[in-house]
Chains A and B, each alone.
Chain A
């Protein structure tokens, strides 16, 4: 059977959209399609990409996590303060990273328990956690940034391999592949789709929904916390205001990447593409020098366009 135009569109809609964007961007600016800008883009997208990856998991299970930006900030503050305390030594960096991830783990655990065992709406539970984590991040230093973290700590979030490939981008790519494998080949991964698709049916078929819920929120918080460590490392500064609004970019990227806010649908590679798409948008508008206000309008319009296209394509998929 000859593959129809419609089938190609169905399977690769995001990829096609990305290609269209890249072509338009290349025409608009001679600086876009260069090797250095490609690596530049990868680095810029890596931290939001890791946050969005976690968001996708929560969206697949049918929830939402508004606390990721605040968890990112709190985790980054914890890591920076410990790294500074140990004068940026390797031991201090390891302790800092472990402590930051532990804090993120606890945050995710709390949101997970509130939403599953206490049945609070995801939206409200994570909103409360967003406030708590942001307050805690500000409280650590009374709102001051922590600086002077040293060259060693700078490597994981701000280092480059071969002078070009950002270490953070490598983390992003590896984590995306890892999450994609988990979603496709593990019982846990498949349970997420089952729960998000139909919670009652999933429970009846013997899936432990509550445990899965808690685990998902923990993974999402750990990814946000890791992104926080990378952010602090990248800027060589712990900023209590870091990640403000990061949850919204993560939700937008997940949905552009095909995830559905009603749960049950979403993919790691789709989100990878969604993050890249949003980053290319900002990048190209900066390269051609579009004034700031127009940038925001254009960004909103293109998000709408991408979503409409997704909707059209997924509708024809169902036929």
Chain B
């Protein structure tokens, strides 16, 4: 009897865990990571930024915390950073905790658009200005510092068409998809497909959702190449991590003349462009993005007018300009100083 109960419990929790796995944030809840680097810069009034980061389990998000802390420290501003481990409820509580600590301005990288509404309302009520970074929230933010993912997909698509020989190109293009329901995924997909529409000879085949994860992208690519074989002329993945997996499949199977493209400017992809294993990526530099968010916070605190949306911009990286961005010491290609 006892065993049966245990087995039943096991199944129940399994189902729960399955449901919770969508956000792949399973690491333990590490709380408030405090940086007290408040070296006041000559003249300026110092203030405190609260940063609620969505997770630390991808390089892009993990780096954001350090970049914001370092850049703010240079400006003599204190940062209190908390990471929500992809948990919307935790993010709401995190924001409450930050407000309790008496922050002056809130930077938030939301788990999703609707999720942190309770925290946003609390900040609004407390009169603390809100800057969203990377992704925006449905309402309540003063400034959104982000990127146009649609444009990134569109630019990579256009560059790929040029490499395939322009408007008369023919063949099958595999599209390795990110995470289901992700707004980033949808914007990149729509932008890419908008570019591809201008070339009637190219057929797009979309993969199963591979969660922006290389280990899921590799089998998906293997199966699609199995199904579409010789017709495949190019692969576009919704991020570089997955595209690198696709490039690996192409290399392992000794398939020639398949162009591989992605988005993010992950350094591993940039270095692969240098040796010809990879063709195009679009920069999604977390350094510039984070700097712009801190600058927006400073501007808000100084009472300056700040637009609702600040585009951190992008740049296409391919064989022609790759040497400007290749730096094995970095995790991402950076547009700062370029």
Residues in chain A within 8 A of chain B (CB atoms): 29, 31, 34, 36-37, 40, 43-44, 62, 64, 66, 70, 121, 123, 130-132, 134-135, 138, 142-145, 147-148, 158, 160, 231, 234-237, 239-242, 244-245, 248, 251, 260-263, 282-283, 285-289, 291-293, 295
B55-94 interface bits toward A, Cβ cutoff 8 Å, 1 = contact, 0 = none = 0111101110010000000000000000000000000000
State which residues 202-218 of B face A: CB under 8 Å.
Answer: 205-209, 213-215, 218
A151 to B143, CA, bound (A): 47
Chain B hits for A148, CB < 8 A: 268, 271, 328
Are B61 and A287 in contact (CB-based, < 8 A)?
no
Surface stretch bound by A, among B23-31, B295-303, B304-312: B23-31
Instruction: Given A235-B218, A239-B215, A244-B26, answer yes or no on A285-B208 (Cβ-Cβ < 8 Å).
Output: yes
**7 closest residue pairs by CB, A with B:** A286-B223, A143-B62, A261-B7, A292-B208, A292-B209, A144-B59, A131-B28
Counting chain B CB atoms within 10 Å of each CB, the highest count among A130, A261, A287, A295 belongs to A261
State which residues 164-212 of B face A: CB under 8 Å.
Answer: 177, 180, 205-209
- 14 inter-chain pairs at a CB distance below 8 angstroms, sorted by A residue, are A123-B6, A134-B27, A135-B27, A138-B57, A144-B63, A148-B268, A244-B26, A248-B14, A261-B7, A262-B3, A283-B219, A288-B227, A292-B180, A292-B208
Which of A34, A121, A248, A289 sits near B205, CB closer than 8 Å? A289
A295 to B248, CA, bound (A): 25
Are B57 and A240 in contact (CB-based, < 8 A)?
yes
Which of B18, B227, B244, B245 sits near A286, CB closer than 8 Å? B227
Which of A44, A145, A237, A245 sits near B222, CB closer than 8 Å? A44
Are A37 and B56 in contact (CB-based, < 8 A)?
no
Instruction: Given A143-B57, A235-B245, answer yes or no on A262-B215 (Cβ-Cβ < 8 Å).
Output: no
- Closest chain B residue to A32, Cβ basis: B226
Are B208 and A134 in contact (CB-based, < 8 A)?
no
A29 to B206, CA, bound (A): 17
Are B215 and A131 in contact (CB-based, < 8 A)?
no
A78 to B173, CA, bound (A): 37
Are A36 and B59 in contact (CB-based, < 8 A)?
no
CB distance from B210 to the nearest CB of A (A): 9
Are A29 and B4 in contact (CB-based, < 8 A)?
no
Are B219 and A135 in contact (CB-based, < 8 A)?
no
Chain B hits for A237, CB < 8 A: 214, 244, 268
Total number of residue pairs linking A and B with CB closer than 8 Å: 130
Residues in chain B within 8 A of chain A (CB atoms): 3-4, 6-7, 9-11, 13-14, 17-18, 21, 24, 26-28, 30, 56-59, 61-63, 66, 177, 180, 205-209, 213-215, 218-220, 222-224, 226-227, 229, 241, 244-245, 248, 252, 268, 271, 328, 331
A64 to B7, CA, bound (A): 10
Are B10 and A241 in contact (CB-based, < 8 A)?
no
A44 to B245, CA, bound (A): 13
Are A241 and B24 in contact (CB-based, < 8 A)?
yes
- Closest chain B residue to A124, Cβ basis: B13
Are A295 and B208 in contact (CB-based, < 8 A)?
yes
User: Other than the known A31-B227, A40-B226, what 8 A-B pairs have Cβ atoms closer than 8 Å?
Assistant: A130-B26, A144-B62, A248-B14, A283-B219, A286-B208, A287-B226, A291-B206, A295-B208
CB distance from A84 to the nearest CB of B (A): 11
CB distance from B212 to the nearest CB of A (A): 10
Are B227 and A262 in contact (CB-based, < 8 A)?
no
CB distance from B172 to the nearest CB of A (A): 12
Are A123 and B9 in contact (CB-based, < 8 A)?
yes
Are B3 and A143 in contact (CB-based, < 8 A)?
no
CB distance from B89 to the nearest CB of A (A): 17
Counting chain A CB atoms within 10 Å of each CB, the highest count among B14, B207, B215, B220 belongs to B215
A64 to B14, CA, bound (A): 11
A194 to B223, CA, bound (A): 42
Are A64 and B62 in contact (CB-based, < 8 A)?
no
CB distance from B94 to the nearest CB of A (A): 18
Are A134 and B28 in contact (CB-based, < 8 A)?
yes
CB distance from B7 to the nearest CB of A (A): 4
Chain A hits for B58, CB < 8 A: 143, 241
Which of A37, A132, A145, A282 sits near B28, CB closer than 8 Å? A132
Are B245 and A131 in contact (CB-based, < 8 A)?
no
Chain B hits for A123, CB < 8 A: 6, 9-10, 13
Are A236 and B14 in contact (CB-based, < 8 A)?
no
CB distance from A27 to the nearest CB of B (A): 15
CB distance from A62 to the nearest CB of B (A): 7
Which of B3, B26, B177, B219 sits near A62, CB closer than 8 Å? B3
A240 to B27, CA, bound (A): 10
Chain A hits for B28, CB < 8 A: 131-132, 134-135
A309 to B294, CA, bound (A): 59
Are A287 and B223 in contact (CB-based, < 8 A)?
yes
Instruction: Given A31-B227, A286-B227, A289-B205, answer yes or no on A245-B220 (Cβ-Cβ < 8 Å).
Output: no
Chain A hits for B328, CB < 8 A: 148
Chain B hits for A134, CB < 8 A: 26-28
Chain B hits for A283, CB < 8 A: 219, 223, 226
Which of B3, B10, B208, B248 sits near A236, CB closer than 8 Å? B248
A22 to B84, CA, bound (A): 44
